[in-house]
Amino acid sequence: MTNKADCAIRVEGIGKRYPISSRLAQFGSLRESMSNAARSQAKKMLDLLRGKVDSALDLDDSIWALRDVSFEVGRGEAVGVVGRNGSGKSTLLKIISRITEPTEGWAEINGRVGALLEVGAAFHPELTGRENIYLSGVIRGMKKRDLDRKFDEIVAFSGIGKFIDTAIKRYSSGMVVRLGFSVAVHLQPEILLVDEVLAVGDAEFREQCMEKMKSIIRDSGTTVFLVTHQVQNIYDLCQKTIWLDGGRIVAIGGTEEVLQGLKQAQRNTALDNKKYWGWMYNI
Amino acid sequence: MRTTDRITVKPSKGLRLPNLIELWEKRELMYFLMWRDVKLRYKQTVFGVLWAVLQPFVMMLVFSFFFGKMGRMPSDGIPYPVFCYTALVPWTFFSNGITQATSSLVFSSILIKKIYFPRIIIPLSSVMSGAVDFLFAFAVLIGMSAYYGIYPNWHSWMVPALFLLMLITAIGVGLWFSALNVLFRDVRYVIPMLTQVWMFSTPIIYPLKIIPGKWRVLMGLNPMASVVAGFRWGLLGTSPVPRTMLLLSLLSASAMVLSGLVVFGMMEKTFEDMV
């Protein structure tokens, strides 16, 4: 496949476990005597300081959001990630972007990562559009210098125009999204992670975003990771696709065949449903 | 400047400090978060930055009436209002700093869940954003001393150094509590009590001299005692802070910030899920 130098992302046996419920929440409940509680809390603190997060949080009720995930992504490749809700797509992006640590396995990332997991996450409603461009740009890893240079371009792309000096709490939700996306596409990372944000805004703006994504992939050699439920976007943008289910990789490979498999599986589930709920169709 | 980064992501184990090199690289972000906090604090307020001065000033009026006038508290021969205000200016910075730092991570939950950056920047910037308020309150302090005919003496050079000591202490406490508050939301209820108790254990309404000689030096375990006594020394010309007491404060503050860094570094990885 790709040789080592061309590798933008290498993931080896990555797993991530999350607690479903932690007994921490029951601290001080009447069931436990206070001294018991104090002792177990002290033990938890010690465990935590020793780095044993699992026992500190009583992870007996836990779920593997991601397990045994391994793959490689070459430099400049565009990869789509598909799967049902809760299949681990977002967790995967969170690990690659270092928002959260894996529980097991490792990943090697070669290149500056820019992640767009939520548009406008770095915005503050009380600040103006201008202020928010700078604030969110810097939080997402840009330098003020670069923002000065790209400012006009960002504003132009967003179409916010004369409202740039208005507090964004007075923007429509569409305007906020456009501004957020404009900042994000001007980050110019070497690896761009995008989670379900192309589905925002009106049809015209979605079109504009798709064009921008295409030009990012085509012209700048950026490695792109795209999580979405809009299969069409993946057809349009990605040569390669990863299909996740229950935290594990079901299939990985060329977009055509993986999506073919996904479609087949969805059809089968639908048929199963029909078998079970078939009587309803006759009513 | 770095053009490419090579990062390995893997589970961390055992003792771990926050990445301080990365913190330095991202200092611009720290500046922006401070700027945001300052900007937001007085947005849609009528009195704006006047609040920065009003908070210690009103405390000073109350204390001057009850402790100075009615209680006849000794004040090293300095008029009580200026004696008290000199201590309240650094104290306000300190107590606001640790209060804001404590809830800072929880308030920034969306950022923590959606964007990667060194988490330590959040409590640090919320402690430091109080510096602007401090400067305004400090300007009033200089004016007030002049009104009473007291001018900075040649020990005033101590004041910036003491500000740093206070900053280190506030950062140390802020790191501890901000991290603990992510896991145990009880912490934010502890803070108001703690700041009350801490204020009365610091020579703010009373002079350091009131403490018997052999215990006075031990007051240095509380770095704020040295800060407050030092501010009075440098700005009002009261008797100097014992050198051993200053040293003790320096050690104590270093211990707080080092342990704070360790605790923060080890709890950091739970933030994304627990915040």
> In this predicted structure, which of A22-26, A275-279, B53-57, B124-128 has the lowest mean pLDDT?
A22-26
- Is residue A66 less than 8 Å (CB to CB) from chain B? no
Chain B residues within an 8 Å CB radius of A27? 184, 186
Query: B16 to chain A: nearest residue by CA?
Result: A51
Contact across the interface for B115 and A140, Cβ inside 8 Å:
yes
pLDDT in tens, B101-145: 999 999 999 999 999 999 999 999 999 999 999 999 999 999 999
- Is residue B113 less than 8 Å (CB to CB) from chain A? yes
Residues 184 through 223 of chain A touching chain B, CB cutoff 8 Å: 190
pLDDT the model gives residue B147: 95
pLDDT in tens, A40-90: 667 667 776 665 655 555 555 678 999 999 999 999 999 999 998 889 999
Chain B residues within an 8 Å CB radius of A97? 116
Cα-Cα end-to-end distance for chain B: 33
Q: Mutate which of B2, B4, B6, B10 to disrupt the A interface (most A C-beta within 10 Å)?
A: B10
pLDDT the model gives residue A272: 76
Rounded to an integer, what distance in angstroms lies between the CA atom of residue A6 and that of residue B2? 19
Contact across the interface for B116 and A19, Cβ inside 8 Å:
no
- Is residue B37 less than 8 Å (CB to CB) from chain A? no
Q: What is the mean pLDDT of residues B70-92?
A: 94
Rounded to an integer, what distance in angstroms lies between the CA atom of residue B39 and that of residue B48? 10
**Is B1's pLDDT higher than 90?**
no
Chain B residues within an 8 Å CB radius of A118? 110, 114
Compare B218 and A206 and report the one with higher pLDDT.
B218
Q: Rounded to the nearest 5°, which phi and psi values hold at B271?
A: -60, -45
pLDDT the model gives residue A4: 54
- Is residue B189 less than 8 Å (CB to CB) from chain A? no
Contact across the interface for B266 and A126, Cβ inside 8 Å:
no
Contact across the interface for B273 and A144, Cβ inside 8 Å:
no
Contact across the interface for B272 and A134, Cβ inside 8 Å:
no
The Cα of B266 is separated from the nearest Cα of chain A by a number of Å equal to 6
Q: Give the model's confidence band at B274: pLDDT under 50 very low, under 70 low, under 90 confident, else very high.
A: confident
- Is residue B263 less than 8 Å (CB to CB) from chain A? yes
In this complex, how many residue pairs, one in chain A and one in chain B, have their CB atoms less than 8 Å apart?
Answer: 118
Chain A residues within an 8 Å CB radius of B116? 97-99, 113, 115
**Amino acid residing at A47:** D
pLDDT in tens, A103-155: 999 999 998 888 888 888 889 999 999 999 999 999 988 899 999 999 999 99
Of B12, B43, B273, the CB nearest to A126: B43
Q: What is the mean pLDDT of residues B188-205?
A: 94
The Cα of B13 is separated from the nearest Cα of chain A by a number of Å equal to 6
- Is residue B266 less than 8 Å (CB to CB) from chain A? yes
Contact across the interface for B9 and A107, Cβ inside 8 Å:
yes
The predicted complex's ipTM stands at 0.85
* Pairing relationship of beta strands A240-245 and A78-82 according to DSSP bridges: parallel
pLDDT the model gives residue A51: 59
Compare A188 and A101 and report the one with higher pLDDT.
A101
- Chain-centroid distance, C-alpha A216: 18
